Chain A
């Protein structure tokens, strides 16, 4: 244990030396210590992960509210460390895009009992789930505007060869002025084939990404019925589900388990083709076919489900929610769809100029001390960049 603590202390001292401000504001009851130029406004929540509070800059008028999340015990928990590193790497990589959430500051506090990783982020009160499932009236123009922002963010993410893997309304934050920001990169994965080659040192590259794909309601059919590798089209399916949810005002495929989820999709999209079921390559997929005893469902036209939606909207839903992932639109095609013409700004749809996301660092982090050191390096790098003068 001494060894681990020593490791921790060494790593954390590096961080604290670099980042320690001269004055601290301390709130003893909730064990929060933040730089003196912040003033705590209110505690927003507390859970197993740590504590969240809202703060503002002292003397600032009008006050800019910031959410501070303190994550305790992060340095002894492998899963939290991995998630923190992954999420910070992605947020750092995608920073600056208006539809992807931005981190304001990071800090590692070492002095007990206030120790932990402190993350500072602009305070966004709502997520899209709260907006969709409320009584707020959404015109088709709002839907277009929201969807366009989601696709702009996703275009940026996909251009770096990254799959989000957990797109859903709950993971899209919504500011009061209607600006959407994609968040939660805890399950995101880089998929650039070149980096798989680097990781495996093998010429025969078979991108292998593991099975963790969250939130069943937004899960693509190939993830439910096949065990084969998947690609960016799983995010496109999720976007299709979100678009349909805008009109339905509730999730469109609400399965209780994976097979019920499949039947929910079949009820709307109809029984899939035999060829596709064969390509899925599983018995459960084969058993769904017309040859089995299962009833054969016909596709229900989206126009009869959403009679109030425009033909362009219906066409886009159909193009996104397709059984066959190869028939789904890419994010670039979706963004160019006539449905979004009214809100589109083609000059403001950037791609990630840094190229594909390099995830080879993951294979180097094969011990807890390396994970800790890496997190500290990430935080220090973030602070250093923050203090450097703008270009």
Chain B
């Protein structure tokens, strides 16, 4: 190899290297431009039936949100619908959940055999220890106490609400009124004896009765009580000995019949 040939070869190598770098840079730039393109973030087609058509094709690049989320939570995360890699982005989103379609499939499945009515799944299959006690999901997402628009220290609003209701002849309804009415029809003399002698409240009627009495005795509670979806016992904190003594002297048993109740019992 002579000098000229050597120089030519070096020049070719440098050119090739430069060209390679340039094209790499351009590729990155293109990718960056592409990411800014609104069409790059699209809902993927969630219908699994389409997967087979995409099989073998080049997989789509993950969108930044997904990358970030995966990085953030730093664990293998299933989207709930996909378990393996990303598929191509389908620009035509199918609104109906594919799972709604899928749910009808097992009805025709051969897996169901009348001989084997109950399948007992082994406890060891499941990881109970890792169960997150705070986890929640829909429906009935976040079943906690909803606040009332009127707060307990907002005396002006409470008085205004009382006056308005007096004028219109309405009154807030105890949120468990129907439950109370049903239990009231079911409770027997025996239950009264058991409760007053042995403090046994099997049906929870007497506790509910006390809550109801308190609700109707104090307008501030009636107008400001939060909507509790959970019976977590926090209502017990409302009761004090003083309240109990006061309640003994009052008879609000039939208070609801004394007034025209607000017809809208749904808050």
Q: Which residues of A contact B (CB under 8 A)?
A: 1-4, 21-30, 35-37, 39-49, 52-53, 57-60, 62-67, 69, 71, 76-80, 82-84, 86-88, 91, 96-98, 101-105, 119-126, 131, 134-137, 139, 141-142, 145, 166, 170-171, 173, 175-179, 183-184, 186-187, 199-200, 208, 210-216, 223, 227, 257-258, 282-284, 342-343, 348, 359, 362-363, 366-369, 371, 386-387, 390
Contacts and interface: CB of A to CB of B under 8 A. Distances in A.
B266 A44 contact: no
A184 B178 contact: no
Nearest to B107: A387
A92 to B, nearest CB: 11
B78 to A, nearest CB: 5
A91 B150 CA distance: 28
A184 B138 contact: yes
B139 A79 contact: no
A137 B72 CA distance: 10
Given A48-B231, A363-B264, A227 B119 contact: no
Given A184-B141, A390-B101, A367 B227 contact: no
B249 interface: no
A52 B83 contact: no
B97 A104 contact: yes
A177 B44 contact: yes
**Nearest 6 Cβ contacts at the A-B interface:** A45-B135, A37-B106, A211-B149, A123-B80, A176-B79, A78-B179
Contacts of B223: 211
Contacts of B28: none
A124 B121 contact: no
Interface string B138-182: 111111001111110110110011000000000000011111011
Interface in B92-110: 93, 95-107, 109
B147 A43 contact: no
A26 B119 contact: yes
Interface stretch (B1-9, B14-22, B126-134, B252-260): B126-134
Contacts of B247: none
A119 B139 CA distance: 7
Contacts of B78: 65, 123, 125
